[in-house]
Structure formats: C-alpha cells, structure tokens
Chains A and B, each alone.
Chain A
Amino acid sequence: DTEVTQTPKHLVMGMTNKKSLKCEQHMGHRAMYWYKQKAKKPPELMFVYSYEKLSINESVPSRFSPECPNSSLLNLHLHALQPEDSALYLCASSRPGPEQYFGPGTRLTVT
C-alpha cells in the first residue's frame, strides 16, 4: 500500500462550526505533514509530526489544531475558521528522510 488517503474530499463549513480532516497511511512512515494550498499558489507547510510528536508548527493560528493519535493517522481539527481559510489541505507522509508522499487533499470552503 503506497497511498495516503484523506477524508473528506470536499468540506463546506460555517465560521462557527467544528470539523475535522483525516489523513491515513499504511506505509510505516513515521513523519506526517499538513500543508495548506491556496488557488494557483504552492503548498505551504503547516505542521510536521515525527514519531507521533509535533516537531514543527509554522506559526499556524490556534483555530487549526493537529492531532496524531497513532503512527498511521493524522487529524486536523478546525474551529471558528474564517473565509480566507478556504483552501486545499494536503497531507503527506515520509520515512524520516527522503521523499514525501502526498494525499489527494481535502478542498475546504468556509462560508
């Protein structure tokens, strides 16, 4: 299994809602990442987990809350988002090293 899966594919939420994005991999990778990508822009790193511990937070607002319950699963909890948070949210995983494998992304719309 060489795949990173993300659910849901699309999500529409209001500014007062609480929702979560889910990412899963079964490649035995021990590093997992969240990126945010706005339209026609490159992905921007948000968080890095290494061996289930948060190792990098790129000064992301607290309305985004990551969680790594186990080595295969990565969540991103969303609360009180703003319309400008609408974007494609990408998850990736890697051995602590070489290339990252990206999932297909969750397209988030905040209304």
Chain B
Amino acid sequence: DAKTTQPTSMDCAEGRAANLPCNHSTISGNEYVYWYRQIHSQGPQYIIHGLKNNETNEMASLIITEDRKSSTLILPHATLRDTAVYYCIVRKGFSGTYKYIFGTGTRLKVLA
C-alpha cells in the first residue's frame, strides 16, 4: 500500500501561513492525495484533495509536486481553531471499494 510520511509536530504563529509537508513517494498514477484534520478525538474533517494539479478551496491550498512524490497543505492564515492533527491520505481502489491509507499525522499547534 502507498505509504505517507509526515512530521510528527509543527508550531505556527497565529495569522501566519502553516505549511504541512507530506511524502508519498510510492503513490501510483491514479491514487489521489487527501488531507483531513482531527480536532481532539472528534471525527476527521475533510479539507482538500487532488491528483496532480494544485488545488485551492475556502479552507486551504494543496501543492503537489510534478513527480507526485510529495505534497504540501497550506493554511494561509492560521487561527487558534486550526490546532489539530492533520492527516495526509492516499486514496486507493475503485468506486465502491475506495480505501483511505492514513499517514501518521502532523500535530499542528497554532500559537497566539
């Protein structure tokens, strides 16, 4: 299974951009990269996903390298409420049998 590796923890000052890296060097051509976050044992919350193009939505931006071996999640203006564990995920399989392979997660702490 494609594996993702992430730094264990990061700090970010409130109001600054948080850049969370993820390595997925064994990803296959049809496997998507997803990012979710989990706030203190609540259910994971969807943030963004992409295949090979950079993506942006109201929460974040996702930058995927051209060789697709790594990606970076960018929270443009981090707030205290963004403190959470952020998971980089590779989605495998086909419609009806999709599997999320979760990375180990990065614990982001936003500092006042």
Interface residues of A (CB under 8 A from B): 4, 31, 41-45, 48, 50-51, 55-56, 88, 90, 92, 94, 96-105, 107
What is the count of residue pairs linking A and B with beta-carbon distances less than 8 angstroms? 54
Interface size for chain B: under 10, 10 to 19, 20 to 34, or 35 or more residues? 20 to 34
Closest to A105 in B: B43
Contacts of A4 in B (CB 8 A): 43
Q: Report whether over half of chain B's contact residues are helix, strand or loop; otherwise say mixed.
A: loop
**Which residues from B are CB-within-8-Å of A99?**
34, 46, 49
Q: A43 to chain B: which residues have CB within 8 Å?
A: 44, 100, 102
Q: Is the CB of B43 within 8 A of A104?
A: yes
| A42–B45 CB distance below 8 A | no
Given A51-B96, A100-B46, A102-B45, 15 more pairs with CB closer than 8 A: A4-B43, A43-B44, A43-B100, A48-B99, A50-B96, A55-B97, A56-B93, A56-B97, A56-B99, A96-B98, A99-B46, A99-B49, A104-B43, A105-B43, A107-B41
